[in-house]
Amino acid sequence: MTRYERLAQIMATEIRSGNVAAGSRMPSLRQIIAQHGVSQSTAARAYYLLEQWGLVRAAERSGYFVAPRPVNGKATQAVTADEDEATTVDISELVFSVLDAAKQPGIVPLGSAFPSPTFFPLSRLAKSLGHAARSVSPWSTVVDLPPGNENLRRQIALRYMRIGISQPADEIVVTNGALEALNLCLMAVTQPGDVVAVESPGFYAALQAVERLGLRAVEIPVDPQTGLDLDVLANTLRKHPVRACWFMTNFHNPTGVTLSDAKKKALVDLLAQHDVPLIEDDVYGELHFSPDYPKPAMAFDRHGLVMHCSSFSKTLAPGYRVGWVSAGRFAERVQRLKLMTTLSASIPAQAGIADYLEHGAYERHLKKMRLALRDQRDALCAAIRRWLPAGTQWTIPDGGYFLWLRFDKAIDAMELHRRAIGRGISVAPGPIFSATSAFEHCIRLNFGHPWSPRIDAAIRTLGEILSETVKGA
């Protein structure tokens, strides 16, 4: 159990025992720091947990109060792991609470994982959907069962061809978004208790999948400039019976980093030496700002070990929930798992997207979207330079729509998140991107929304909160 969890447990016991009346003021952060000899970050995170468990309520600028009706929340299990130690994962509680807080209407969505819906050619898509729905054969319910709509798989195969990858359409399995593809791949190659290598920081859904399937995770560090640490991975593969890796090679979530071709090739070669499959999450690859799609790792695969997962959720039609996996030698297993779990992706949505890819102007739409995202990235960087503290560090991604910020050690990202929500702004705090207590001074910001005075003002507010937080430390 971490220090803040231990501290939260002590305070929770006190509240549940009834010794502190509902509505009464809890000790201030300063008092907790003095009483328990803990850091500001530990005290703030303990309060954050108490809030999630429904035991206290925060009042802006007034501190914490005992909640009227304590709810028996499920405590987050302690997880501590050395860089190369396999661990069970229990991160969902934290992730759900952060995602829930960001759902409030009218919030400035800097913590969101989605780009602005205004980017998407929704009326043109609706035309394709309408056309497909009218012309779809009643037999397609059966014919389009996994691996999925043939025309759509052919269109996806053509997109692979554009980036120099010859991909047979019959190895592509259509899924409900990339997330299902990633989960099915993990199920296809692991058994409960197996060890899986994931990234740190990394997409929280990978950790949740590991948690749900009863797997153990080894977190491999990702450097925001150079990406995945292959030396640590090589070491881990020697030390642990790793059954699969789940990595992002292009425009990594949350850091935005892309692996060089040389590194992708080295990664694929290393995994081939150990016969370990790579589940490659490439949902942002199409959103590149330089002229070409950065080749995915699957382009270097000679052994059918890479399962390349992507979707149209980030680029075209988030609500349609259409994704896919090009599953190499695992295609049949993934296809069966798809049948056994959710049977099929939506038949009209598959046919509609296939029609759009064939007759719509996907390439033109993507070009427009990439240019807009690049401008928004630059505007965000300018606002960060202008409003955030001088010591703030970040790397400039060449695609996607995430920026990863690192602050001074005095800043606690969970506390920043909480205060920002109080002022109508969401940010994605670093701790949700790791099963350990890492990245507590980092946040991810989304630049997928058209730049506006409102977003600029939100960055300015973050700057104010940051300086208040440092002063209050």
Does 427 bind ligand PLP (CB under 6 A)? Our answer is no
Does 369 bind ligand PLP (CB under 6 A)? Our answer is no
The residue count for binding ligand PLP (CB under 6 A) is 12
Does 280 bind ligand PLP (CB under 6 A)? Our answer is no
Stretch that binds ligand PLP, among 174-182, 222-230, 367-375, 430-438 (CB under 6 A): 174-182
Q: x/- contact string, 397-416, with ligand PLP (CB under 6 A)?
A: --------------------
- With CB under 6 A as the contact rule, the residue among 311, 344, 426, 437 that binds ligand PLP is 311
Q: x/- contact string, 94-123, with ligand PLP (CB under 6 A)?
A: -------------------x----------
Give the type of residue at 13. Answer: T
> What are the structure tokens assigned to 374, written together?
């690049």
Does 283 bind ligand PLP (CB under 6 A)? Our answer is yes
Q: x/- contact string, 221-260, with ligand PLP (CB under 6 A)?
A: ---------------------------x----x-------
Q: State the angle between helix axes of 177-189 and 204-212 in degrees (0 to 180), rounded to the nearest 10.
A: 40
Stretch that binds ligand PLP, among 59-67, 175-183, 238-246, 290-298 (CB under 6 A): 175-183
d(CA 445, CA 192): 34
d(CA 453, CA 438): 33
| CA 160-345-116 angle, 5° bins | 70
Does 66 bind ligand PLP (CB under 6 A)? Our answer is no
CB neighbours of residue 290 within 10 Å: 11
Of how many residues is the chain composed? 473
Minimum separation from the CB atom of position 75 to ligand PLP (A): 27
Minimum separation from the CB atom of position 109 to ligand PLP (A): 13
DSSP 3-state assignment of 241? Answer: coil
d(CA 126, CA 358): 14
DSSP string, 58-127: EETTTEEEE-SS---PPPPPP----TT--B----HHHHHHHHHHTTSTT-B-TT-SS--GGGS-HHHHHH
Pairing state between β 306-311 and 278-281: parallel
Does 179 bind ligand PLP (CB under 6 A)? Our answer is yes
The residue ranges that bind ligand PLP (CB under 6 A) are 113, 177-179, 203, 248, 253, 281, 283, 311, 313, 323
